[in-house]
A and B are shown apart, each in its own frame.
Chain A
Amino acid sequence: MLTYKSYIMEEIINTSEIVQEAINVKAYLIYLPIALLLTVLVASILFKNSKIFMLDIFHGREEIALSTNRLFEIGFYLMNVGLALFILRMKDIFTHQEMVEHLSLKIGGFCVFLGIMVFLNLYMFFRGKRKSSQHVSQGNTVEL
């Protein structure tokens, strides 16, 4: 009698878990497009404006400047898409309120990381500019 009751309880728990677990996929399907869209947006802004830096670092040689820019852009995409995927996994979500909270954590954290990457890239560009002007024999004034 006792085992029959516990069997019924197990069935109820299992079926209700299967109905509730599906919301995880919804959260993933909301998080992924937002994260990828953000990456594409930030990358297009950053690398559209870094072409000037590249032209400056390579002293006006257009081909190498644009291709190095593209190289950095692909690397940027690789790293950020990889990280967005890596942090995708979320705990089992059972209510929509929990979903919003977990989503806000992931998307917010990813935005902060994107911001850090942008500033890191800017630092790299400025450093490249400084290094390249050090190797020029005439003195160059830094134009802002």
Chain B
Amino acid sequence: MSLDYSHITHISYIILAISTAIYVGQGFYRNGEPLLYDVFKHHPHWVKPINNVLLTGFYLLNIGAIVMYVSDGTGVHTANAFIEFLAIKLGTVYVVLAMIHFGNIATLFYVKNNVNL
């Protein structure tokens, strides 16, 4: 009985978190392409590789953190604890990812304005 409940929480956590990760990743990938084309105006053949590398890094960080926290949730057996667990783990992952994302954008703008490519 308790085994079934913890299985459901693990599976729902993984599905929810990884689908948001993929959705956000695709959003960054598609919307970041024009910005990259602008920064690397004189090297348009750099854009697709850089975009792909950034996307891979994003997936690694996000999905890695999500899967890493699955092992942490073995003691979760009540709805209360499940919501708290989901909230804190997903919350930390998203805040850290947002900071890295804005750091990336700041780096791109710095490269655009101050570096001769």
A52 within 8 A of B: no
Interface residues of A in 101-139 (CB under 8 A from B): 128, 131, 135
Q: Which of A63, A82, A89, A128 contacts B95 (CB 8 A)?
A: A82
A133 to chain B, nearest CB (A): 12
Contact at A71–B28, with CB atoms within 8 Å? yes
Chain B interface size, under 10 / 10 to 19 / 20 to 34 / 35 or more: 20 to 34
Mostly, the B contact residues are helix
Given contact pairs A78-B101, A88-B83, A64 touches B92 in the complex (Cβ within 8 A): no
Residues of chain B touching chain A, judged by Cβ–Cβ distance below 8 Å, are 24, 27-28, 30-35, 37-38, 79-80, 83-84, 86-88, 90-99, 101-102, 105, 109, 113
A34 within 8 A of B: no
Given contact pairs A24-B80, A25-B79, A71-B105, A79 touches B98 in the complex (Cβ within 8 A): yes
